[in-house]
Structure 1
Amino acid sequence: MIRTYMETDLEEMVRIWYDASVVAHPFVSASFWASHKSAMKEKYLPLAENYVFEQEGEVVGFISLAGERVCALFVAPKAQGKGIGKALLEHAKTLRDRVSLRVYRDNKKAIHFYESRGLKATGEEVDEHTSCLQVLMEWE
């Protein structure tokens, strides 16, 4: 079930973000992600429009929007490959006429996922925090 997040979901959302980030981005040190946990909880997530995927009373994934931009889409590693990310992205597409996002170029699995959901690469830029190349993707 997809629902609007509640403040009580924040701890679990940060845990999912951290765990999934470490798995999906082996080219970025785990210490980088760990150093951003408090900012995710106290700044970034509270400022976004968040939706969580709840399964059997447990939050297993979430998507965060800022206008048309998908700021975050993460699924707990143990729950990946079960259609949760797809459901969250499709939910966002029902709320917006257009969505855009950035994904690390070295995260081939994510790029394939977004392409299979109809997003197209529109450019590249360097992430100022990690110095890694990001692909800009859009759907409309």
Structure 2
Amino acid sequence: MIRSYRKTDLEEMVKIWYEASVIAHFFIPASFWASQKNAMKEEYLPLAENFVFEEEGQISGFISLVGKHVCALFVAPEMQGRGIGRALLEYAKTLKGRLSLKVYRENESAFHFYEKCGFVATGEEIDEYTGCAQILMEWK
């Protein structure tokens, strides 16, 4: 089931974000992600429109939107490959009708996932926090 997040979900969302980030972004030191935990919990997630994927009372993934921009899409590592990310993305598509996002160029599996979900690359930029290249993608 996909539902709007509750403040009580924040700890689990940050845990999923951190664990998935360290694995997916192996090219960025884990210490960077650890240094961002408080900001995710206290600033970034509360400012976004968040939806969680919940099964039997357990959150296994979430998507964060600011307007029509996907700021975050993360699935717990042990739950990946089960269609949770795609379900969250499809949910966001029905809500917004058009979406944009950024994905690190070195995160090839995520880039291909977004391509399979209908996103196309529209440009590239350097992330000011990590110095890594990000591909800009859109779905219409």
**Amino acid of the residue matched to residue 121 of structure 2?**
A
Alignment of 1:1-140 (within 5 A): 1-140=1-140
Q: TM-score, length-normalised on structure 2? A: 0.99
User: In the aligned structure 2, how far is the partner of 1:96 from the partner of 1:8?
Assistant: 25
Deviation at 1:97, TM superposition (A): 1.7
Q: In the aligned structure 2, how far is the partner of 1:97 from the partner of 1:7?
A: 26
Matched residues in 1 for 2:23 and 2:56: separation? 24
Mapped to 2, the partners of 1:57 and 1:89 lie a distance apart of: 21
Deviations 1:43-96 (A, max 9, x none): 000000000000111000000000010000000000000000000000000001
Identity, in percent, stands at 69
Q: Which whole-Å CA distance do the structure 2 matches of 1:129 and 1:41 have between them?
A: 18
Amino acid at match of 1:50: N
Counterpart residue identity of residue 64, structure 2: S
Q: Which runs of 5+ in 1 are unaligned?
A: none
Unaligned runs of 5+ in 2: none
- Which runs of at least 4 in structure 1 moved beyond 6 Å after TM superposition? none
State the TM-score, normalized to the length of structure 1: 0.99
Root mean square deviation of aligned Cα:
0.3
Aligned counterparts of 2:28 and 2:136: Cα–Cα separation in 1: 19
SS in 2 for 1:8: helix
The CA deviation at 1:28 is 0.2
User: In structure 2, what is the Cα distance between the partners aligned to 1:55 and 1:37?
Assistant: 24
Paired with 2:113 and 2:43, the residues of 1 have a C-alpha distance of 27
Distance 2:125 2:35 in 1: 23
